[in-house]
Every structure is written in C-alpha cells, then in structure tokens.
Amino acid sequence: MSQKLVIVESPAKAKTIKRFLGSGYVVEASMGHIRDLPKSQLGVDTENKFEPKYITIRGKGKLLANLKKAAKNAEKVLLATDPDREGEAISWHLAHILGIDEDEPCRIELYEITEQAVKNAILRPRTINRNLVDAQQARRVLDRVVGYKISPLLWRKVRRGLSAGRVQSVATRMICDREKEIQEFKPEEYWTLKGNFFPILSNKQSDSDKEVQIFEASLYGLKDKKLVPKSKEEIDKILAELKEVEFYVDKIQKGQRKKNAPAPFTTSTLQQEASRRLGFSTKKTMLLAQQLYEGVEIKGEGSVALITYIRTDSTRISTEAQNAARDMIRQKYGTEFVPQKPNVYKSKKSAQDAHEAIRPTYLHLAPDKLENSLQRDQLRLYRLIYERFLASQMTPALFQVISIYIKAGNYIFRANGSRKTFSGYTAVYMESNDEAINDDRDIDLPILEEGQLLGLKKWDPEQHFTQPPSRYTEASLVRALEEMGIGRPSTYAPTISTILSRGYVSRQGKTLVPTELGMLVNDLMMEYFPNIMDYQFTAEMEQKLDKIEEGQIEWRSLLEEFYGPFTKYLEHADKSLEKIEIQDEVSDVVCENCGRNMVVKTGRYGKFLACPGFPECKNTKPIVEEIDVICPKCEKGSVVIRRSKRGRKFYGCSRYPDCDFVSWDLPVKDKCPNCGSYMVQKGTSNNTKIVCSNKKCGYIYKSYEKNT
C-alpha cells in the first residue's frame, strides 16, 4: 500500500503527529537543518551576487539517505517544518535534496499540533514560499558576512576567540551604554516628609467609635504646586513652619480604578515574564517552550502538544480558542468574570498575524492535571502560559480608590488608599514587572469627613538620592530590543546566549554587566564599524528583511547595498587598528603544577583561574565564592558556590573531597525548628521562601530576612 511521507523537524513533533494520522502516512524528522553554510569558510560568493555555498551538515549523511529512500517509496511528500522563515528554509532545502518540484504543493503549516489542525493542514498543502526563504537567506548571508569578516580582524588585532555579529554587537552596545550611564550618573539629594496622623473624634461619637486609627500621609506640595525638598535645611524650615499649624481634611476624592487583563503571550513577553517570575534565562524558556509545543508524554494520552507555536509577535487568538476560554471561565468562576465581548488585543504593526499568540492547545489539560507527567520546570512554564491565556479573556479587576488631602498651613499632605472590589482576571493571574510581582494589597484609611481635624503622632523625614538607571536584566533587554525593532522573536535568546558565552557580558544575579573585554570590543566596533553598531541602521535592516518576506525587495540587492560601504569600513579598520594587548588579571593563587600566579579568565560559564603558562601548563580551577554559612554536614568547612559542567550553580563544602555536602538550593544559617535539619532558600527573588531540606518534614518559614 502506498503511503504519504510527512517530514517534520524533531522526533518529538513526529511522535505527536503520528497519533493523528492513520497507516497511510509515515512521519520522519529532519533533526533541524540538513544543509547550511560551511563552518570552515565564508561560504558566500561575494563576487557572484552573494551566492550561498550550501553543504550537507556533517553527520547528517545517513539521515539524509533514509529520508531520500522514504521519499522515493512515498506517494507524496509533505513538508511540515515550523511555520516561520527558518522552517520555510528547511523545507526548501529538503525539497531541493529530495527532488521535489518547487511548484508542487508540498508545504503544510502547523500553528498548533492538534488532531483537527493536523488533518486540516494535510488537506491544504501549498507551494514553498520563496519570499520567506529569501528573507531567511538574506539574514543568514548578511550575518555570515558580518561575522566572518569582522571576527578574524578581532582575532588578529585583539585576541583569539572573539566575534562580532550584526545583532549581538548592538545588544552588547546597549548593555555597555547603560553601564556608562550608570558610571557617569551624578546622584541628586532629595527628601520626603511623612506624617503619622489620626482623626480627632468628636464628643458625639460613642466610646466604641473612638478607637484611633493612625494613617500615613506624605508631603504633596504647596497650595498651587508640587514640592520636593532638596536638602535637610529645606526640611527643617518646613518642620519649623508646621509646628504651630492646625491639621484638617481639606478634600476627599473617591473613584474607581480599572485594571485590564494582560494580553496573551508573544515570544518576547513570555521570555520577559519567565525571567521575572521563574528566574529562567531566555534560552531555557525557549527550550522548554519548544518541548511543550512539539509534544510531551502525558500519562494515559501519549505524546501531546500542549501549546501553540512559540515564535510569534502576534497577540491574536482564534475565535474557537476564545469561545473555549469564555466557556471555561463561566463554568469555573461565574458569568461576571466573562466580558460582554471577547477581549481583543492590538499587535505591533510589524507582527506576523498569521500566527496566534502563545496559548494552551487543550484547556481541559489544566496544569494541576499534569503534575505527574511534566518535569518541574516544564510544568511551571506551562502553568504560566495557561493562566496568562485564561486571564487574557477575563474581565478587568476593579479597585475603589481614595485620596485624602490634608491642609497644614501653607502645605498639603496626601494619603492614598485602595481596596479591590472585584478580582476579575486577578483571580487567575497576577502580572509582574522588573522589580517585583505587582502588589494589589488593600490599603485602608480611616473614615473621615472634609473639614475634620487631625492630630499628629510624629514626623518621619527621610533623605534620598536619585538612582542611576538600572542595569539590564534578560527580561528588560528583550523588551528594549523589541521596542527598538532590533532582532526578531527567534533571535533574542541566541543573541543573549552568544554575548554571555563570548565573555562580553556576565551575569551578576539577574543583571547583565559588561566585562572589560566587552567594553573594549564595543569601543572598537563603535569607532571602526559605526553603521553596524547604529541602533537605527540595525532596526531599518530588520524592516528591509520583512520587506523581502513581503516580496517588496529582492534579497541580493539588499546585500549589494550593504556590502559596498561595509568593505570600506573593513579596509579602514584593518589598516588603522593597532594590535591591542589585553592583560589578564593576576590572582594570588599559585599554580601547584608550575609555581606561577594563576590569572583570571572568562569562559562560557563565567570566570575561572588558569595558569598563564598555557599551553605548557594547562592547569585550571574554579574561582570559589564563600557564603557566610557553616557546612551543615561536617560543621567545619564553609558553604561555597560551585558550578556543574553545564554551568549550573550549586552549593558545596569548602572541605571537599573530605566533606561531600552538596545542595542545589542555598543553605541558610538557621536550623529547622521542627526537626533540626538545615534549611534552604527556594524560589525567585520575587517570591523567596525558606524551607526545611528534609522533605519528610515540610516546614516552611515564609517571612525570612536574607542573611547572605
């Protein structure tokens, strides 16, 4: 019996799709790209209209032979790679190698891997979209030319192993520019003045009404303008003027605040929220999301694709998905949580609206039902996506807000209160920002009347200084890249991974900090390749790549327009740039093999010590960071931070190998009051809790002041 061959990118996706197709179909995986530019050379003929020289990727020969055999025996070949530029290019390469006519309707797109979506796609194959392929080729060739032309220059003039890239260099510049802003920032002094007030109750009120409620109000300004004191002298002058004045309620303003539900996730917003709430890197988020999209084993159901396609900048949701969400919200929470009309969110102008936002494919598979099927981090990310989507289709949260203005001589103080009157979407999901998860706690104020006299318990003047801009986190860098139009959803994670692995940027907690090497290379790139480093130039290049996809620009003409000026910059840099010697930081640690003082090097997982005698002496060792906690096992050594071979942080004893204590979680000083075991810090910086390390005990100490 003749069969149709369906080719996808990954075995997980193949396994999921096989569930929906009968015996008339064979499903195989290409394991990603099967052809690419060679690693050992430029692979682009710049003299012949930038013709790419594609080769079969090393190690894919046997796989390719099997695909050719399967295609030869098949009645028809259907290419079901990912529905984006990269996926279209993979299908184009497959069609070329398997001898499929370009005019043959062989391409199918799967934005979600459900039975209905797969069967619908099978019935509607299309021809390969050459505009999409050309846009991918243009990006690939452009990035190859930039990287393979500038990187050797950096190797010769600065240090081996360095690299430059069209997007990575601009991302590094953003982090370096922010660091310079921080270094050049001059703090300015300012003061706040808070007063603790209480209502003076009248004789008419009964004793039960006379319980005094103290509330806080802050200096707002003078009668006709706001006021921010700049010095202690100003504060002292204000306090002197307030000594003899009477305090009374001048005005009370009441109103309602509405907080609308957030849009469902795009690639960018998912990366940002997973970073803030779960502490995931962009790379980890995309890896886990890819697994959830392609399919994971669910007990009793087999391989199930749990979310829609993950590379999208659209917030659009299908009508079917909206209706399913509204039905579930109505059943689970009540009619008042369902908006009269479905919530619709505006996408950016540049968004590819063929894609939906990232959402769960099966609403009946709630996160709680999958606790025994998904890995811990898979479940955490799935829960985030599931709850965000459900919340996006719910009514706003409502708050009763009140502002009380207090007259104090010539000065006005203000107290703000709020109370959530209807939870709306917050019954399911709370948003976060770069600092912390938003806090919608009720702030109560006493019941007051205009003209009511107030008493003063105490003043609380406080000195402050203006703060420099915050360093980028992965979340805020992704947001900034997106806002500036630099890169696209598929490029954010690899860009950040690259600048970290090259040693241009390091992580300090959650923040991204440029290294000395990063600052040096950035300064060189800014001087010799100003167009490559220009924010607007890079954003406009992304727009031109989009126009290739839309069929408005021919891809080779874009490269010709770029390459002429680029070669002139390259020639100038090669002639003008002198050799730069970078001195390694010398430590006080002596190499036990040869007696030299070891130097600090930066690798893909951060800094480490290496012998300067390389290659004669290849000794390396980690830089050990001690924590002010005694080892809970031997009680002799200190707890130190170590890293696994893959760079994951863990905690061990400084006396290793004499003491083999290890923990993935940060140990703290206190012992568990229930069982005496050591306790550890769990969670993200936004949601930290201290728990007993003994799982059988389960003790949780929720409010804990960090001691490390």
| Cβ atoms of 295 and 374 closer than 8 Å | no
In the DSSP assignment, the letter for residue 288 is: H
* DSSP symbols for 121-170: HHH--B---HHHHHHHHHHHHHHHHHHHHHHHHHHHHT-TT----TTHHH
d(CA 91, CA 98): 10
Residue carrying the six token digits 């706040």: 192
Q: Tokens representing 112?
A: 């979600």
d(CA 553, CA 529): 25
Q: Where are the alpha helices (DSSP H) in 432-534?
A: 474-484, 492-501, 516-528, 530-533
Cβ within 8 Å of residue 193, ≥6 positions away: 218, 219, 229, 235, 238, 239, 459, 460, 461, 462
d(CA 417, CA 398): 14
φ, ψ of residue 566 in degrees (nearest 5): -65, -45
Kindly give the pairing relationship between strand 3-8 and strand 74-79.
Answer: parallel
* Range 503-511 contact pairs with CB under 8 angstroms and sequence separation of 24 or more: 503/602, 503/603, 503/604, 504/172, 505/172, 505/175, 506/602, 506/606, 506/607, 507/606, 508/471, 509/685, 510/275, 510/279, 510/473, 510/474, 510/685, 511/470, 511/471, 511/472, 511/473
d(CA 696, CA 682): 17
Which entry of 25, 54, 293, 309 is annotated as an active-site residue? Answer: 309
| Cβ atoms of 92 and 104 closer than 8 Å | no
d(CA 44, CA 37): 8
Q: Pick from 478, 475, 536, 484: which is nearest to 510 by CA?
A: 475
Q: Pick from 498, 432, 111, 86: which is nearest to 281 by CA?
A: 498
The C-alpha torsion from 557 through 559 and 560 to 561, rounded to 10°, is 90
Please indicate whether residue 309 is annotated as part of the active site. Answer: yes
What residues form DSSP beta bridges with 406?
Answer: 249, 413
* Residues identified as active-site: 309
